[in-house]
A = this chain, B = another copy of it.
Amino acid sequence: MAYTIKDVAKKAGVSIATVSRVLNNQPGFSEKTKKKVQHVIEELGYEPNAVARGLINNKTHTIGVLFPELSSMLVTDFLNGIETMAHELGSSVIVCHTEADGEKTMKYLQLLNEKRIDGIIFVSAILKEEYYNYIRKMGIPMVLLSTESYAYPVPYVKVNDQHAAYSATKYLLNKGHNKIGMISGSKDDLIAGKPRIMGFKMALKDSGIAFTEDNIIYSKGFGFQDGLDGMEKLMKQSPEISAIFAASDEIAFGALSFAYQHGIKIPDDVSIIGYDNLSIAEMAIPPLTTVGQPLIKMGKTAASMLFEMLESGNVFVENRILPHEILERETVREKR
């Protein structure tokens, strides 16, 4: 067994209250006893028991992060940002992956509740009523990362998806393309699906270009396979297209792969712009032009917001819309 506060007290010849005071830097001890106590702590290698502290303080200095899946490449950067900031602010993070499954999510929430974590970051998924109600009952702050809730007043940090999609499309337009296609996620996805589709359409409209349903592919998700399949359909359906907006970098990779397999030259035959700026975007062949989200920053911001709520005791803080950014690499070229 590790040493306890009693051991320190005994060895230092003081009461445990005094040890506790110097430990927490509470007023009420002389410089001399402080020295003495600290010396014993050093000598014993005593380290306070955070579990006991958590019990009495009702604070565990631990937050929970819920990811729908751990395999998506977005999580690495998000987690990186969250963990960095949380640690800086003195907390640990417990990761959970819900597999976008309602039951599992509830199980995780229950677990986190039993562990009495201080707050929750909920990533890239729809905040269902069931989750919201449960978390509200837990009485701890929560922030949404890369998602938002229309139904509940929960602060979020996001990029403006519609605006970012608009920018991407506009970028293509400015390069002289006027037959532009999109490989999107699901249009039923109100967070990452629809807004990007809307931004795409709006940019087209603002440039006086007619929109055809033929120019857009609705995938189930945002993965590599979706891009592979989407590209195939799009090329078949609208061969006149000279540029494509892919709703995620993974989709763009799929499109790139399909193009490679079928002798379609990127960007000579068709230009592609992605969405996300995953770390592998610059490792693509050719390096992928994309609308970047500041992923690590987003993670850090989400964590900061959570701690702001924790400290202030407010149940709400301002939402943060972080700026997106076009990263010009080599998959888009001027239309001649």
Interface residues of A (CB under 8 A from B): 2, 45, 47-52, 54-55, 60, 62, 70-71, 73, 75-77, 79-80, 83-84, 87, 92-97, 108, 110-116, 137-139, 224, 250, 253-254, 256-257, 260, 279-280, 282-287
Q: Out of B51, B110, B254, B256, which one reaches A51, CB within 8 Å?
A: B51
Q: List 9 A-B contacts (CB under 8 A).
A: A2-B138, A47-B110, A50-B114, A50-B115, A51-B51, A55-B55, A70-B83, A75-B76, A83-B95
CA distance A71 to B299 in the complex (A): 13
Contacts of A280 in B (CB 8 A): 73, 253, 280
Contact present for A254 and B279 (CB under 8 Å): no
Q: A253-B283, A279-B71, A284-B285 in contact; A114/B62 too (CB < 8 A)?
A: no
Per the bound structure, the CA–CA distance linking A108 and B49 in Å amounts to 15
**For residue A95, which residues in chain B have a CB less than 8 angstroms away from its CB?**
79, 83, 93, 95
Other-chain contact of A62, B80, B94, B287 (Cβ < 8 Å): B94
Closest to A111 in B: B92
Q: How far is the CA of A78 from the CA of B238 in the complex (A)?
A: 41
Copies of this chain held together in the complex = 2
CA distance A52 to B54 in the complex (A): 9
Q: Does the CB pair B285–A285 fall under 8 Å? A: yes
Q: Please, which residue of chain B has its CB at the minimum distance from the CB of A91?
A: B111
A263 → B minimal CB distance (Å): 12
Whether A224 lies near B283 (C-beta < 8 A) is yes
CA distance A282 to B55 in the complex (A): 48
Closest beta carbon of chain B to A225's beta carbon, Å: 10
Cα-based distance from A143 to B78 in the complex (angstroms):
26
Give the docked Cα–Cα distance between A46 and B93 (Å): 24
Instruction: Known A71-B80, A77-B71, A94-B93; judge A50-B283 contact (CB<8 A).
Output: no
By beta carbon, the residue of chain B nearest A70 is B80
Distance (whole angstroms) from the CB of A286 to the closest CB of chain B: 7
Contacts of A54 in B (CB 8 A): 51
Which of B92, B137, B279 touches A45 (beta carbons < 8 Å)? B137
A2 to chain B, nearest CB (A): 7
Assess A257 versus B285: contact at CB under 8 Å? Given A51-B55, A79-B95: yes
In the complex, what distance in Å separates the CA atom of A250 from the CA atom of B282?
12
A112 / chain B contacts, CB cutoff of 8 Å:
92
- Does B76 lie within 8 Å of A114, measured CB to CB? no
Complex: chain B residue closest to A138, CB-CB: B2
What residues of chain B lie closer than 8 Å to A75, measured between beta carbons?
76
Query: Is B55 a contact of A52 with CB atoms below 8 Å?
Result: yes
Cross-chain contact of A116 among B50, B73, B80, B257 (Cβ < 8 A): B50
